[in-house]
């Protein structure tokens, strides 16, 4: 039977390894994440300017009801919004 001390030490090293890996991943991906958020917000503003009859709340409802549209902005760009008088 394995010693409990070595088992706990192994768990600590695994936890340390995963924590360091997560920290490195966060440092490497943070700029990409910020750029993606900025581009997402710019695209939303562009759509709202292109389609003045569409409110921000309506666009948010569309995005929330169709999760794949929030990832694939090309689908949103292809939608045709009509303004009713």
Question: Given a cut of 70, is residue 84 above it in pLDDT?
Answer: no
Give the confidence band of 71 by pLDDT, cuts at 50, 70, 90: low
Give pLDDT, residue 39: 87
pTM passes above 0.75: no
- pLDDT attached to residue 82: 47
**CA-CA distance, 54 to 83, in Å (whole number)?**
8
Q: How confident is the model at residue 66 (pLDDT cuts 50, 70, 90)?
A: low
Of 69, 52, 50, 72, which Cα lies nearest the Cα of 60? 69
Taking the domains of the chain in order of start, what are their residue ranges? 4-78
Mean pLDDT of the chain: 78
- pLDDT-derived band of residue 19, with 50, 70 and 90 as boundaries? very high
What DSSP designation does 52 have?
T
């Amino acid at each position: 039977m394995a010693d409990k001390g070595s088992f706990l030490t192994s768990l600590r090293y695994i936890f340390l390894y995963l924590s360091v890996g997560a920290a490195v991943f966060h440092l490497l991906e943070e700029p990409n994440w910020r750029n993606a958020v900025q581009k997402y917000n710019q695209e939303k503003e562009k759509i709202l300017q292109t389609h003045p009859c569409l409110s921000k709340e309506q666009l948010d409802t569309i995005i929330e009801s169709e999760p794949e549209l929030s990832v694939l902005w090309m689908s949103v760009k292809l939608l045709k919004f009509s303004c009713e008088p």
